[in-house]
Amino acid sequence: MVNKILKLLKLDVLNDEEKQTIYELARATKRTDLQKRRFYMVYNVGPNAKEHNTYKKVASFYNCSTGAIRSSVMSVVASFYHLQNEKFSVLENILKKYEK
């Protein structure tokens, strides 16, 4: 389910409210600020989101490897799999709207 949500984010299908919800969920994770910022840049969520970025583009921005970016992003994504039930149900509700 998390992968489906991320795919919808990449395809820019979700509305601004849903993107904001995912941003808030990511922000609440116990990951570093750097990991979260990299996630926001790749998936185009958050208050300063302008465009989707590739790992390579984000890596050049941070002057690091694409592997470092991928590791940061995957760390935040992994935390979505361990959300509490009430927060995970928020993701389920978003996905239900698009699976009809």
**Span 26-41, pLDDT tens digits:** 999 999 999 999 999 9
Can you give the pLDDT at residue 72? 94
Average pLDDT over residues 49-55: 80
- Model pLDDT for residues 61-82, shown as the tens digit of each residue: 999 999 999 999 999 999 998 8
CA-to-CA dists, residue 14 to 5, 7, 92, angstroms: 9, 10, 13
Average pLDDT over residues 80-93: 87
Could you give the CA distance from residue 55 to residue 87 in angstroms, rounded to a whole number? 27
With a pLDDT cut of 90, the percent of the chain lying above it is: 43
Could you give the CA distance from residue 35 to residue 87 in angstroms, rounded to a whole number? 20
- Model pLDDT for residues 54-66, shown as the tens digit of each residue: 899 999 999 999 9
